[in-house]
Structure 1
């Protein structure tokens, strides 16, 4: 077979065509490989255009998708009740808690004689405290209480001190509950005989001073020390039956008479604490029925236990007062 050599012009065209084909193939390979190369190249810092949720959303957008936080405090206001205890029960307080609030406010409000049905009571409840187990037998206490009477509003705020003890305080950081003294040594039904400079004695049938108050209560009702002190007498006295006398902070002293018996361990020289049970209601001595005869002496002079000025309790100071002021201001805004 005869072979014809390529002319120079034809050879150049063939070489050019091959070069073009090689360039097309190389370009196609580069195009097919470039996405993978871009994804895998760690030096490439250009963000991908289809990346979403890489940047944080604005606060307004984020908050719109999150559930609203439940309020920490609830407020219950009650009016139209014949007694404070009824108002407290309607707001959900237990009997023990209601009586503790009464005790805290007794120096400011005469619940027995000055209460009116149109008085208004507001309670602030802290849901955080409600979820914490209370030390038995004490249920959770209201974080704040306001009682509005004809004399105006009275506020108290619950505060747990740095040593962990919770008490009610007034806005200025003074201990509520009036003082280092409790006004009443027991839960009683009524004042069966008031303090008087001259009273007709139903047993002796003659007029003479009545140096204390008689508080009628069922036999066996616990009697509490109304302040810290030392027992100076525990025994029998003519007319008074079983008697306990306590020397409290000067110039105060207290006397408890007609007791059925003394609490265990109470004797002369015993140091007692405020609210400690020291005896039980009875009718020993010259008594016409079960009751407690209670006296308060100031500089050895008998005073009316229901109206005598009682010494103030230790108020908050310094760091604790600052902490309390911040909390009470927050709670006051809810009342």
Structure 2
């Protein structure tokens, strides 16, 4: 006896997205066999949560430093912020009681607790009456994080306006001034900044000392060659800082000497000059060199961040 055993017919499916267009993919699953249950796919991983932005504001009662530190900013960070605002704000004269400061922080949990040395604002605003100044922290692609102004220009200047903490301007730049010592009319090629003897004098930009010694009229003087075409002069010094001599390299904000009244001076002050292409210019108004603005992809990323954070300030 011959037994004929019939096998279940096979299904043939055509898939439009098969590896070869029109190729038939054959399933060996019998017609009456229920399909295998689909394997459950794992849920997609949750996106890492971005830190929330937190805004804190304080009113100045005495100083910027005091107001900033009341919001949990460290003394070192306060100095960094003041340096970033220095090209726009004179913290000795412009800050008054009633002015407001605002900071935007990333709320990253433990690191955002008051007093953390790692904490720094991602945006800051100082309101001086009706005038406001803002800076924004941004890390350029492949670089370090720095503070920038709204237009993408680095906030920290490459050239400071003032070299000393002074009490008043005792004599201004002038092409025709009656000299208090010689009693003759002549040009005054710098600005005199009154300060007590011994007040530290800082380099206003990176450079190389071309001369450190005594000259007629100037008394003890330091001449620094800065980035072309700029050079600076610091005169009537009581003494030079240690290590300052012709050929020494100096950096912006480095103490290079101390206020005195050597040379033709009627009282203690710093005589400060800025020369451009060897021509004396008014140190209070001369256009100072700036760092380059952000460009390309960095400029676009920065603009997006700044717009978001500006709305919070």
When normalised by structure 2's length, the TM-score is 0.69
Q: How far apart are 1:181 and its partner, in Å?
A: 0.7
Matched, 1:75 2:69: no
Which of 118, 121, 124 matches 2:101? 121
Q: How far apart are 1:187 and its partner, in Å?
A: 2.3
What is the match of residue 143 of structure 1?
A: 122
What is the match of residue 243 of structure 2?
A: 265
**For the structure 1 residues 207 and 96, does the alpha-carbon distance in structure 2 shift closer, same or farther, using more than 3 Å as the test?**
farther
Q: CA deviation digits over 1:196-228, x for unaligned, max 9?
A: 223333333333222111222233332221112
**Which structure shows the bigger proportion of residues in strand conformation?**
2
When normalised by structure 1's length, the TM-score is 0.65
Q: How far apart are 1:184 and its partner, in Å?
A: 1.3
**For the structure 1 residues 240 and 114, does the alpha-carbon distance in structure 2 shift closer, same or farther, using more than 3 Å as the test?**
same
What is the match of residue 4 of structure 2?
A: none
**For the structure 1 residues 162 and 237, does the alpha-carbon distance in structure 2 shift closer, same or farther, using more than 3 Å as the test?**
farther
- Give structure 1 stretches of 5+ with no counterpart: 1-68
Verify the 8 A CA contact 1:78 1:91 in the aligned structure 2.
no
Q: For 1:103 and 1:252, locate their aligned partners in 2 and report how far apart those are by CA, in whole Å.
A: 21
Q: CA deviation digits over 1:125-166, x for unaligned, max 9?
A: 4454655964xxxx8543322233466432111334567654
Which of 242, 254, 277 matches 2:232? 254
Verify the 8 A CA contact 1:212 1:303 in the aligned structure 2.
yes
C-alpha RMSD over aligned residues:
3.8
Q: CA deviation digits over 1:256-301, x for unaligned, max 9?
A: 1122222232222222222222222222222233322111111222
SS of 2:84's equivalent in the other structure is helix
Q: How far apart are 1:170 and its partner, in Å?
A: 0.8
Q: For 2:179 and 2:119, locate their aligned partners in 1 and report how far apart those are by CA, in whole Å.
A: 45
Q: For 2:74 and 2:196, locate their aligned partners in 1 and report how far apart those are by CA, in whole Å.
A: 22
Q: For 2:178 and 2:74, locate their aligned partners in 1 and report how far apart those are by CA, in whole Å.
A: 41
SS of 2:303's equivalent in the other structure is helix
What is the match of residue 153 of structure 1?
A: 132
Q: How does 1:1-335 map to 2 (within 5 A)?
A: 71-78=52-59, 88=68, 97-98=77-78, 100-109=80-89, 119-128=99-108, 130=112, 134=117, 141-149=120-128, 152-161=131-140, 165-177=144-156, 179-335=157-313
What is the match of residue 20 of structure 1?
A: none
Paired residues, number? 270
**For the structure 1 residues 72 and 149, does the alpha-carbon distance in structure 2 shift closer, same or farther, using more than 3 Å as the test?**
closer
Q: For 2:267 and 2:105, locate their aligned partners in 1 and report how far apart those are by CA, in whole Å.
A: 42
